[in-house]
């Protein structure tokens, strides 16, 4: 007999980053009783690390902006694999969601006339990112947190969900434990929202927090939900490369938005060497014009450093591979050069990019107002995830919703910077609203004791192996997985390497089944990691399988053996679902046909 505590709520939100908190607020305001499971302490989720800004066509800085331009920018950036309805809703609703944050106490940087200031970012035609220096994520999560604590929401801090619970085909709750004592908890809910963010920690070089292990995507998959676009992982072009212990740490695109330039070891601005056709019309070929663009000249075209992230990351990889890299295997990102242009450059840089200044000074001993930074690509974001209905955020499983990074569709093959923060506001709100409605309209489900008994005995199994000869160290398996994903499922992929990766993941699975941990159930990271491996391996496998299926190069997915775009693959998304044998089914599913008026918009703005 498993012992556990039981809790009842109308809506259960798993995840306490931006999407989870926004969803919880909305569900609570709709009258539902709401629980939020925070894997860490409240306010510490990965949203806190977002830097550059939140994209919304407020048109405060350039009045030519509007939802139509934001929509077409998002579709172009996603290479038209996006769910067009999500892109439409996102572009239309993001401005209201940002203004709402101001009403809840957020303090964004201001324009001269006292409105919310917006900055340039890659792939956005006009200055569109509302921001607070380079700590926008902190401002957002703190605003949501401080608003949410005064709503009718119960927060379960430092709790982890291990499995969703089902009644027939419907999700009716979740099983988890609290970190402090390791006690089991069963959460009953009529509707469950997954808002667990990304999976960067399955790679060795990543900008992500500890808790980005893909947990929610895996929970949904094992409950039977469909995943799509898993092959599209975003490698952010500018992560730190030195010293080794901070490799991967993010350097905001805002550096380039403020005039920072990329150079190779010959001093050449190599981004001018390769401008994709899709962006030729709006990209400058002149250094001087590019600088004017970053300084707000509305008639100037943007510099190639502000092309989309997938492209910039590949150009950097090429420079490094062809021997034109920096001493520690990156390229140079230089913001200090702007002293040639403006008189108070060091103060200007410190004011616009305070965290970057601080980060390099403290961790690398580099003063970015005086010398260039060394940068290289880092695993940053997954465009794919749980497939959802655009309007309601319901997954393919009844009662299960998803929002934020763990949900898929908005970004297609590549996400534009700033669109993740607006994504989590727009679709967090929608998920909360529709989950509350669903909860109101449905009756309580039943949870079968046998389900709980099976999960709990699996969860405790690492302790049985604590002293067994040959028991595996969970931290070692995790680190081996990160190493192999980096090597085999990174920026440049091939069929042979992806097949190799899938084989390796199989081996890791059998090793994980033999992972043991010492100590007891109280705050035990070895135990937690042993359990977590299941999620990390599931998500790793989904990425590798989807990447093998897409035999073309598009957005964040680059296949060395199929380096061009293919018409056939431009018409499909890759779908992944668990079959009745518990294996991963990979299918190509046709995109839904875009609405006529939206297609016309895209044509007009080409």
Partner 1 sequence: MASVLFNIWRTNSAGGEFQEYKTEISEGMVVLDAVHQIQAEHANDLAVRWNCKAGKCGSCSAEINGHPKLMCMTRMSDMPEGKPVTIQPLKAFPVIKDLVTDVSINYRVKKRIKKFNPRPPDAADGTWRMSQGDIDRVQEFRKCIECFLCQDVCHVLREHHLHEKFAGPRHMVYTAALEMHPLDIEDRTGDLKDNNGIGFCNITKCCTTVCPENIHITDNAIIPLKERVADKFYDPIKKLFRIFSK
Residues marked as catalytic? 236, 256
First to last CA, the chain: 63
Among 21, 15, 4, smallest CA distance to 432 is for 21
Cβ 147 to partner 1, closest distance in Å?
8
Q: Side by side, which strands form the sheet with 331-334?
A: 233-240, 373-382, 331-334, 261-263
Q: Tell me, by CB under 8 A, how many residues bind partner 1.
A: 65
Assess contact for 260 and 321: CB atoms under 8 A. Answer: no
Among 42, 460, 598, 605, binds partner 1 (CB under 8 A): 42
Cβ 161 to partner 1, closest distance in Å?
17
Cβ 46 to partner 1, closest distance in Å?
7
Cβ 39 to partner 1, closest distance in Å?
9
Q: Could you give the dihedral angle defined by the CA atoms of residues 498, 502, 505 and 506, in that order, rounded to the nearest 10 degrees?
A: -160
Contact code string over 526-555 relative to partner 1, x by CB under 8 A: xx-x--------------------------
Q: Is 359 in the site for partner 1 (CB under 8 A)?
A: yes
Listed ranges 2-10, 143-151, 160-168, 585-593: which one lies at the site for partner 1 (CB under 8 A): 143-151
Cβ-based neighbours of 118, under 8 Å, separated by 6 or more: 53, 58, 60, 61, 62, 126, 127, 128, 129, 130, 131
Among 262, 201, 551, 250, smallest CA distance to 405 is for 201
Q: Is 92 in the site for partner 1 (CB under 8 A)?
A: no
Q: Which of helix, strand or coil describes residue 587?
A: strand
In 10 A of CB 101, how many CB atoms? 22
Listed ranges 22-30, 119-127, 354-362, 574-582: which one lies at the site for partner 1 (CB under 8 A): 354-362
Q: Is 520 in the site for partner 1 (CB under 8 A)?
A: yes
Contact code string over 459-488 relative to partner 1, x by CB under 8 A: --------------xxxx--x---------
Cβ 99 to partner 1, closest distance in Å?
6
Among 85, 92, 102, 289, binds partner 1 (CB under 8 A): 102
Among 6, 31, 64, 149, binds partner 1 (CB under 8 A): 149
Among 31, 63, 107, 274, binds partner 1 (CB under 8 A): 107
Cβ 183 to partner 1, closest distance in Å?
13
Among 402, 390, 400, smallest CA distance to 598 is for 390
Among 18, 20, 43, 372, binds partner 1 (CB under 8 A): 43
Among 223, 315, 517, 543, binds partner 1 (CB under 8 A): 517
Distances in whole angstroms, Cα of residue 191 to Cα of each of 222, 401, 597 = 17, 8, 34
- DSSP assignment of 411-477, as one string? STTSPPTTHHHHHHHHHHHHHHHHHHHHHHHSPPP---HHHHHHHHHHHHHHHHTSS-TT-B-HHHH
Among 514, 524, 577, 599, binds partner 1 (CB under 8 A): 524
Q: Is 63 in the site for partner 1 (CB under 8 A)?
A: no
Q: Side by side, which strands form the sheet with 54-55?
A: 54-55, 129-130, 118-119
Token pair, residue 427, equals 């679709």
Token pair, residue 257, equals 């938005």
Listed ranges 1-9, 122-130, 387-395, 513-521: which one lies at the site for partner 1 (CB under 8 A): 513-521
Q: Is 254 in the site for partner 1 (CB under 8 A)?
A: no
Q: Is 139 in the site for partner 1 (CB under 8 A)?
A: yes
Q: Is 142 in the site for partner 1 (CB under 8 A)?
A: yes
Among 355, 337, 133, 359, smallest CA distance to 240 is for 359
Residues of this chain that bind partner 1 (CB under 8 A): 40-46, 48-49, 99, 102-105, 107, 109-110, 113-115, 132-133, 135, 137-139, 142, 146-147, 149-150, 157, 180, 209-211, 242-246, 249-250, 355, 358-359, 362-364, 473-476, 479, 517-520, 522-527, 529
């Amino acid at each position: 007999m498993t012992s556990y505590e039981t809790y009842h709520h109308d809506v259960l939100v798993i995840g306490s980053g931006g999407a989870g908190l926004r969803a919880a607020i909305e569900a609570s305001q709709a009258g539902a009783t709401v629980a939020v499971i925070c894997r860490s302490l409240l306010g510490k989720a990965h949203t806190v690390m977002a830097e550059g800004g939140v994209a919304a066509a407020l048109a405060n800085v350039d009045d030519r902006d509007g939802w139509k331009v934001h929509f077409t920018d998002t579709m172009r950036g996603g290479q038209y694999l996006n769910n067009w309805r999500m892109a439409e809703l996102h572009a239309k609703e993001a401005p209201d969601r940002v203004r709402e944050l101001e009403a809840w106490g957020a303090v964004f940087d201001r324009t001269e006339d006292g409105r919310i200031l917006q900055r340039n970012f890659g792939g956005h035609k006009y200055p569109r990112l509302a921001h607070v220096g380079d700590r926008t994520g902190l401002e957002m999560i703190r605003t949501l947190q401080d608003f949410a604590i005064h709503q009718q929401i119960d927060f379960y801090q430092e709790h982890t969900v291990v499995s969703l619970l089902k009644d027939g085909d419907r999700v009716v709750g979740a099983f988890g434990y609290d970190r402090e004592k390791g006690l089991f908890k069963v959460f009953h809910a009529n509707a469950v929202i997954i808002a667990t963010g990304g999976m960067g920690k399955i790679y060795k070089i990543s900008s992500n927090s500890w808790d980005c292990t893909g947990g929610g995507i895996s929970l949904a998959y094992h409950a039977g939900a469909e995943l799509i676009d898993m092959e599209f992982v975003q490698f952010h072009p500018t992560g730190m490369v030195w010293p080794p212990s901070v490799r991967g740490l993010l350097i905001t695109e805002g550096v380039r938005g403020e005039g920072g330039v990329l150079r190779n070891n010959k001093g050449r601005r190599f981004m001018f060497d390769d401008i994709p056709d899709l962006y030729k019309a709006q990209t400058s070929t002149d250094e001087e014009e590019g600088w004017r663009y970053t300084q707000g000249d509305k008639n100037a075209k943007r510099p190639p450093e502000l092309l989309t992230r997938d492209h910039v990351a590949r150009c950097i990889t090429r420079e490094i591979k062809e021997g034109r890299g920096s001493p520690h295997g990156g390229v140079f990102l230089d913001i200090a050069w702007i002293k040639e242009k403006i008189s108070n450059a060091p103060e200007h840089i410190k004011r616009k990019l305070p965290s970057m200044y601080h980060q390099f000074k403290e961790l690398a001993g580099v003063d970015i107002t005086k010398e260039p930074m060394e940068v290289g690509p880092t695993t940053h974001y997954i465009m794919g995830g749980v497939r959802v209905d655009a309007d309601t955020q319901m997954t393919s499983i009844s009662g299960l919703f998803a929002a934020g990074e763990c949900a898929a569709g908005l970004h297609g093959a590549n996400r534009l910077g700033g669109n993740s923060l607006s994504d989590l506001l727009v679709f967090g709100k929608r998920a909360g609203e529709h989950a509350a409605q669903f909860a109101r309209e449905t009756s309580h489900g039943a949870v079968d004791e046998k389900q709980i008994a099976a999960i709990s005995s699996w969860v405790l199994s690492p302790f049985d192996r604590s002293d067994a000869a040959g028991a595996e160290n969970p931290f070692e398996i995790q680190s081996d997985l990160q190493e192999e994903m980096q090597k085999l499922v990174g920026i440049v992929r091939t069929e042979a390497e992806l097949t190799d990766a899938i084989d390796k993941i199989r081996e890791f699975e059998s090793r994980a089944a033999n992972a043991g941990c010492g100590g007891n159930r109280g705050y035990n990271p070895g135990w937690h990691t042993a359990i977590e491996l299941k999620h990390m391996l599931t998500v790793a496998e989904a990425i590798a399988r989807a990447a093998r299926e897409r035999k073309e190069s598009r957005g964040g997915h680059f296949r060395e053996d199929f380096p061009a775009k293919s018409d056939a693959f431009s018409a499909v998304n890759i779908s992944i679902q668990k079959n009745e044998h518990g294996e991963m089914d990979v299918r190509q599913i046709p995109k839904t046909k875009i609405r006529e008026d939206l297609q016309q918009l895209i044509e007009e703005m080409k």
